[in-house]
A = this chain, B = another copy of it.
Amino acid sequence: MYDAKAKVLKALAHPTRLWMTEQLANGERCVCEFVDAVDADFSTISKHLAVLKQVGIVEDDKRGKQVFYKLKVPCILNFMSCVEGVIESQVNAQAALLKK
């Protein structure tokens, strides 16, 4: 069970994948839109999306020449405010250390 959960978290634990996941919260996007936005190879983006798909975070939908991805589990994002909280408290702790 912990293995399965860790896999899902691992899928999210990459800056590009995390960013794409948050983008998908605003609605579906085609692969090409990501490629334009991120400065990376088509294949790199495609592989990242495949990772998200494999664990069930997103799903794809081929329409014409393009493939559209959409977020399957919006609750994923509820978590982010907590993660942001972790980061903020870390930043504050570091700042406090520097002041000493």
Assess whether A10 is interfacial by the CB under 8 Å rule. yes
A9 at the interface (CB under 8 A from B): yes
A40 interface residue, CB < 8 Å from B?
A: no
Protomer copies: 2
CB <8 Å contact, B87 and A4: yes
Is A72 positioned at the interface, with any CB of B under 8 Å from its CB?
yes
Interface size grouping (class) on chain A: 35 or more
Cβ of A87: which chain B residues have Cβ within 8 Å of it? Answer: 4-5, 8, 56
A45 at the B interface (CB under 8 A): no
The complex places the Cα of A13 from the Cα of B9 at a distance, in Å, of 5
CA of A10 to CA of B87 in the docked complex: distance in angstroms?
13
Does A37 belong to the interface (CB within 8 Å)?
no
